[in-house]
């Protein structure tokens, strides 16, 4: 009997043992399950939830289902978002320098420099086996038989309820949508002294070659501004907010200098200065593109950003169920698959887990491999694709051929041997064949008969969201269909607490949609959302489309309708990957290779800047300005005539027409305020686990945002969304698209039709093995309180059902030994794995 047949038989056997427990299982909403049929686990899981519910609601929990938020006042779930712990969050610097940007013609900015790639830039690429043709293992053959994969052993797997509930409220994690770079330790730069006016500018690229660039004069206002404004403020309240809300720090002593001033004091100071400078024609642009208002606002935001970066970083506190999962992974070393509806904090949790695992493996970082099914998802968590990690290239060959290929690639082989914990994000887009192949490859390369050669797996994703790209028109084969799926995972855990949508009614509608069981009431509610949305701040809803071409067409048409010539910003890319792979990788990065912008263009921020300007924030381009217009150290420190200095500053604005002009964007921040920011280039990197950079792109952290693809929207939280269901053609698309919205007030749905909302039947079956879909629809968004409330009604004998393996019921009849014959030669599809 072959290995996989044995695995299948084992699962079938287990399934039959557990079948009697199914009925009671289905009464449970999102139990934690384990392949280990330990009968006592259920009670303990229930107790866990009971304990959880008996604890007073913690501060981090949303006022769950208690109020409907309005995108206009932004009292949304995002308000409580903590700031990003981002050493670069206040960086408004640029590495670009292009002359002639004031020319009144089409402007192409090449965000490039002549800096050679960083030293750790690698030219290794695991896909091309020819690159490693002189390897020693050419004649190696995989062993014909490996030890049998152990059947779900009667191991003493700790049950979730056995685990100590982390009591520390100090479970900190960075902002969920943080760029990978935000999790890196800050680059070496001087800690600002207590009285330091502002952090030094950071030049990500130049710093490596030209340290003197870092020593460039600080970005600060001319001293004249500081002095004059500091001494004229008498009353913080007596100022004009110009409609821009701003938090005033608690009980701060009266400011004595500009940089020590409270935010509102700064505002008042600038108002006074503005009044002086505007003169009778106040508000008129002082350059072709940017008005004084823009400049003042941008200075203001720069001050805020500086202050916030120095302030103590706030952080999301993980919920109790999130902490449980993290504990299982980090402390207990268990292989875990955690799933849950959109917005339940899977990404937040995964980032927190990665942070902790990085600490755990600080001495040997290569023990941790962070991967995702697609390049986009990988970029979002600072990892690489699963294909890239494993060194299988397109992965179409059979296992033995792939093993040989990896053995010829020392770095890939090393990764397989060294990795102790493998993170896989967006599992919904991983194909079952790939999962089985990698599991088998791990066994062979690590000479360990356990699935994946004993590597701890930490997997997340939601199978109701975008599925794997179908190959050659055949049916989707999900990772949970893999023969080795349930054997590879100790615990399957469903997160239940929805953070993104705080309106219980809306969360309920989405949950019905997710499960494909939509009540008439929900149909009516969705149909009522067809009304057009208009917002007083002028920022329009972002329309989500299934295809990239629709997105490009829509954005282009809107841009063309604006007056003037576009300012074009070209990305600066670095990579030594083979051209086809590089192209695919770059084409799937969030930051575009070319970005055309005009005054009036609607844009979305694609990096976190601080606590309220985050990945996903929408804004409008107000104009274009040079960096120097926002921070000039013009050597006037010693002069005493402040008015003269102000005039000098004004003149500097006029004279800096040779510097590159970047977009000044007025953003709709997540706290409901409007904030203006000069957007300068940022950098994105794709790195191997050992820190080697495979590819990097420098580009403005902006995309046009009248339209966005559903693929790129996956994982985003958006305040204003428009979806036309007539355009939807794939299962999961409608759910992904609609579940991006935080509120109904910020969602417009055209042509809502029940039949357009397609949940894959096998996905439904799979989740039915975790909880009853009927129960879930009724319970909608389950909470820990729901579990506690249910407890008395659950008969004690039903408890053992929770110990059932996650995928057994759905997979038993469909599970099959993997067939590794040549798949359809669809290069394009396979390459999609890289993005």
Ligand X SMILES: Nc1ncnc2c1ncn2[C@@H]1O[C@H](COP(=O)(O)OP(=O)(O)OP(=O)(O)O)[C@@H](O)[C@H]1O
Number of chain positions touching ligand X (CB under 6 A)? 23
The residue range among 256-264, 345-353, 450-458, 798-806 that interacts with ligand X, by the rule CB under 6 A, is 345-353
Query: Applying CB under 6 A, does 319 fall inside the site for ligand X?
Result: yes
DSSP 388-444: HHHT-TT--S-HHHHHHHHHT-HHHHHHHHH-SEEEEE-GGGSBHHHHHHHHHHHHH
Q: Is 375 known as a binding-site position?
A: no
CB count in 10 Å sphere of residue 166: 17
60 vs 151, beta carbon nearer ligand X: 60
Q: Is 21 in the site for ligand X (CB under 6 A)?
A: no
Among 623, 681, 715, 809, binds ligand X (CB under 6 A): 715
Is 376 a binding residue for ligand X by CB under 6 A? The answer is: no
- CB count within 10 Å of CB 309 equals 23
**Among 346, 476, 517, 697, interactor with ligand X by CB under 6 A:** 346
Largest CA distance in the chain: 92
Structure tokens at 82: 């903590």
- d(Cα 504, Cα 522) in Å, to the nearest integer? 13
Rule CB under 6 A: say whether 322 interacts with ligand X: yes
- 432 annotated binding-site participant: no
- Please report the sign of the dihedral spanned by the C-alpha atoms of residue 251, residue 257, residue 258, residue 260: negative
Q: Bridge-partner residues for 415, per DSSP?
A: none
Q: Is 345 annotated as a binding residue?
A: yes
Asked whether 749 and 530 are in contact (CB, 8 A), the reply is yes
555 or 615: whose CB is closer to ligand X?
615
| CA atoms within 13 A of residue 178's CA, in its CB half-sphere | 30
For residue 368, give the nearest of 334, 332, 415 by alpha carbon: 415
Does residue 342 bind ligand X (CB under 6 A)? yes
Residue nearest to ligand X (CB): 345
| 689 near ligand X (CB under 6 A) | no
- Binding characters for ligand X, 483-502, by CB under 6 A (x = yes): ----------------xx--
Find out whether 343 is annotated in a ligand binding site: yes
**Nearer to ligand X (CB atom), residue 181 or residue 615:** 615
Q: Binding to ligand X by residue 30, rule CB under 6 A?
A: no
Q: Which residues contact 130 (CB under 8 A, 6 or more apart)?
A: none
Q: What is the DSSP letter of 115?
A: P
Piece in contact with ligand X (CB under 6 A), picked from 301-309, 323-331, 342-350, 605-613: 342-350
316 touches ligand X (CB under 6 A):
yes
Q: Least distance (Å) from ligand X to the CB of residue 603?
A: 20
If one asks whether residue 645 binds ligand X (CB under 6 A), the answer comes out as no
> Counting contacts by CB under 6 A, is residue 746 touching ligand X?
no
Ligand-binding annotation for 341, yes or no, is: yes
Long-range CB pairs of 15-18, under 8 A, 24+ apart, other chains included: 15/805, 15/808, 15/809, 15/812, 18/801, 18/803, 18/804, 18/805, 18/808, 18/809
Whether residue 634 contacts residue 652, with contact meaning beta carbons closer than 8 Å, is answered with yes
717 binds ligand X (CB under 6 A): yes
Binding flag, residue 783, ligand X (CB under 6 A): no
Nearest distance, CB of residue 60 and ligand X, angstroms: 4
Cβ-contact 287, 678 below 8 angstroms: no
CB 552 within 8 A of CB 339: no
Closer CB to ligand X, 343 or 516, in the complex: 343
Q: Is 77 helix (H, G, I), strand (E, B) or coil?
A: helix
For ligand X, the binding residue among 21, 26, 44, 81 (CB under 6 A) is 81
781 contacts ligand X (rule: CB under 6 A) = no
What residues form DSSP beta bridges with 569?
A: 109, 595
Distance of CA 178 to the CA centre of its chain: 6
- Quick note: the x/- pattern for ligand X over 451-470, rule CB under 6 A, is -----------x--------
Residues in a beta bridge with 704: 603
- CB of 717 closer than 8 Å to CB of 742: yes
Tell whether residue 670 is a contact of ligand X (CB under 6 A): no
**Cβ proximity of 174 and 83 under 8 Å:** no
> Is residue 544 helix, strand or coil?
strand
Close Cβ partners of 191 (under 8 Å, ≥ 6 residues apart): none
Count the helices and strands in the chain (H runs, E runs).
28, 23
> According to the binding rule CB under 6 A, does residue 347 interact with ligand X?
yes
Nearer to ligand X, 314 or 562 (CB): 314
What minimum distance in Å lies between the beta carbon of 82 and ligand X?
A: 8
Task: Give the 3-state secondary structure of 332-343.
Answer: CCCCEEEECCCC
CB-nearer residue toward ligand X: 349 or 444: 349
Q: Alpha-carbon Rg of the chain, whole angstroms?
A: 28
Among 158, 176, 451, 732, binds ligand X (CB under 6 A): 176
Question: By CB under 6 A, is residue 626 in contact with ligand X?
Answer: no
Options 60, 218, 227, 278; binder of ligand X; rule CB under 6 A: 60
The correct pick among 348, 677, 776, 806 for binding ligand X (CB under 6 A) is 348
In this chain, which stretch among 144-152, 317-325, 477-485, 745-753 interacts with ligand X, using CB under 6 A? 317-325
Verify binding: residue 204, ligand X, rule CB under 6 A: no
We find the least distance from the C-beta atom of residue 607 to ligand X, in angstroms, to be: 15
Q: How near is the Cβ of 160 to ligand X at its closest, in Å?
A: 18
3-state secondary structure of 679: coil
Tokens of 310: 């120095």
Identify the residue whose tokens are 């006016």.
197
Say whether residue 525 binds ligand X (CB under 6 A): no
Shortest Cβ distance from residue 354 to ligand X (Å)? 13
Question: Do the annotations mark residue 347 as ligand-binding?
Answer: yes
Q: Which residues make Cβ contacts (< 8 Å) with residue 385, sequence separation at least 6? A: 371, 372, 373, 374, 375, 378, 833, 834, 835
User: Which is nearer to ligand X, 460 or 768 (by Cβ)?
Assistant: 460
Q: Is 346 assigned a ligand-binding role in the annotation?
A: yes
Nearer of residues 319 and 540 to ligand X, judged by Cβ: 319
Q: Which residues are annotated as a binding site?
A: 340-347
The contact set with ligand X (CB under 6 A) reads 60, 77-78, 81, 176, 316, 318-319, 322, 340, 342-348, 462, 499-500, 715, 717, 739
Q: Which residues are annotated as a binding site for ATP?
A: 340-347
């Amino acid at each position: 009997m072959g290995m996989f047949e044995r695995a299948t038989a084992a699962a079938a056997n287990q399934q039959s043992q557990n079948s009697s427990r199914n009925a009671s299982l289905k009464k449970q909403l999102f139990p934690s399950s384990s392949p280990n049929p330990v009968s006592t686990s259920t009670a303990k899981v229930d107790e866990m939830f009971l304990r959880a519910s008996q604890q007073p609601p913690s501060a981090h929990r949303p006022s769950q289902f208690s109020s409907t938020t309005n995108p206009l006042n932004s009292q949304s779930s995002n308000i409580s978002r903590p700031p990003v712990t981002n050493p670069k969050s206040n960086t408004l610097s640029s590495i670009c320098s292009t002359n002639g940007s004031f020319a009144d013609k089409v402007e192409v900015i090449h965000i490039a420099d002549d800096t050679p790639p960083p030293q750790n830039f690698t030219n290794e690429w695991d896909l091309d086996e020819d690159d490693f043709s002189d390897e020693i293992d050419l004649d190696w053959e995989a062993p014909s038989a490996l030890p049998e994969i152990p059947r779900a052993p009667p191991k003493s797997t700790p049950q979730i309820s056995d685990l100590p509930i982390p009591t520390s409220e100090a479970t900190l994690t960075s902002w969920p949508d943080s760029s990978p770079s935000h999790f890196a330790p800050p680059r070496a730069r001087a800690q600002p002294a207590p009285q330091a006016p502002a952090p030094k500018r950071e030049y990500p690229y130049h710093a490596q070659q030209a340290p003197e660039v870092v020593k460039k004069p600080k970005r600060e206002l001319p001293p004249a501004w500081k002095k004059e404004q500091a001494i004229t403020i008498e009353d913080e309240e007596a100022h004009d907010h110009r409609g821009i809300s701003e938090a005033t720090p608690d009980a701060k002593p009266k400011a004595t200098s500009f940089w020590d001033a409270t935010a509102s004091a700064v505002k008042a100071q600038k108002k006074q200065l503005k009044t002086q400078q505007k003169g009778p024609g106040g508000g008129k642009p002082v350059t072709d593109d940017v008005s004084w208002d823009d400049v003042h606002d941008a200075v203001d935001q720069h001050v805020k950003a500086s202050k916030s970066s120095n302030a103590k970083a706030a952080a999301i506190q993980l919920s109790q169920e999130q902490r449980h999962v993290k504990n299982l992974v980090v402390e207990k070393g268990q292989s875990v698959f955690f799933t849950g509806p959109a917005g339940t904090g899977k990404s937040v949790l995964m980032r927190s887990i990665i942070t902790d695992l990085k600490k755990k493996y600080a001495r040997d970082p290569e023990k941790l491999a962070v991967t995702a099914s697609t390049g986009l998802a990988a970029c979002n968590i600072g990892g690489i694709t699963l294909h890239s990690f494993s060194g299988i290239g397109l992965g179409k060959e059979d296992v033995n051929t792939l093993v040989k290929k990896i053995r010829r690639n020392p770095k890939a082989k090393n990764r397989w041997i060294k990795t102790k914990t493998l993170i896989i994000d967006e599992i919904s887009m991983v194909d079952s064949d790939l999962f089985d192949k990698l599991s088998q490859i791990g066994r062979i390369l690590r000479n360990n008969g356990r699935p994946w050669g004993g590597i701890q797996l930490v997997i997340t994703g939601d199978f109701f969201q975008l599925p794997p790209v179908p190959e050659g028109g055949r049916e989707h084969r999900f990772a949970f269909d893999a023969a080795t799926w349930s054997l590879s995972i100790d615990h399957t855990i469903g997160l239940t607490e929805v953070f993104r949508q705080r309106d219980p009614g809306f969360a309920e509608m989405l949950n019905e949609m997710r499960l494909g069981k939509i009540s008439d009431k929900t149909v009516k509610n969705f149909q009522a959302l067809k009304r057009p949305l208009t917002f007083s701040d002028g920022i329009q809803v972002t329309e989500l489309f299934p295809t990239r071409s629709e997105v490009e067409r829509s954005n282009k048409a809107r841009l063309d309708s604006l007056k003037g010539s576009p300012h074009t910003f070209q990305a600066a890319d670095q990579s030594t990957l083979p051209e086809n792979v590089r192209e695919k990788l770059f084409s799937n990065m969030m930051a575009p290779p070319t970005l055309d912008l005009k005054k009036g263009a609607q844009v979305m921020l694609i990096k976190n800047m601080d606590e309220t300007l985050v990945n996903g924030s929408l804004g409008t381009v107000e104009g274009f300005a040079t960096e120097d217009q926002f921070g000039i150290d013009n050597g006037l420190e010693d002069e005493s005539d402040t008015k003269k200095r102000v005039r000098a500053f004004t003149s500097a604005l006029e004279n800096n027409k040779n510097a590159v002009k970047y977009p000044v964007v007025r953003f709709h921040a997540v706290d409901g305020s409007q904030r203006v920011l000069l957007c300068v280039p940022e950098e994105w990197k794709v790195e191997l686990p050992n820190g080697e950079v495979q590819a990097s792109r420098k580009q403005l952290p902006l995309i046009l945002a009248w339209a966005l693809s559903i693929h790129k929207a996956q994982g985003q939280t958006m305040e204003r969304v428009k979806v036309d269901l007539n355009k939807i053609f794939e299962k999961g698309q409608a759910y992904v698209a609609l579940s991006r919205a935080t509120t109904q007030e910020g969602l417009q749905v055209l042509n809502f039709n029940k039949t357009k909302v397609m949940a894959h039947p096998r996905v439904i079956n799979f989740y039915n093995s975790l909880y009853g879909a009927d129960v879930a629809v009724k319970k909608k968004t389950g909470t820990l309180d729901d579990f506690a409330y249910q407890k008395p009604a659950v008969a004690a004998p039903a408890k053992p059902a929770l110990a059932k393996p996650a995928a057994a019921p759905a997979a038993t009849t469909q599970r099959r030994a993997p067939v590794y014959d040549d798949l359809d030669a669809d290069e394009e599809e396979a390459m999609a794995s890289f993005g």
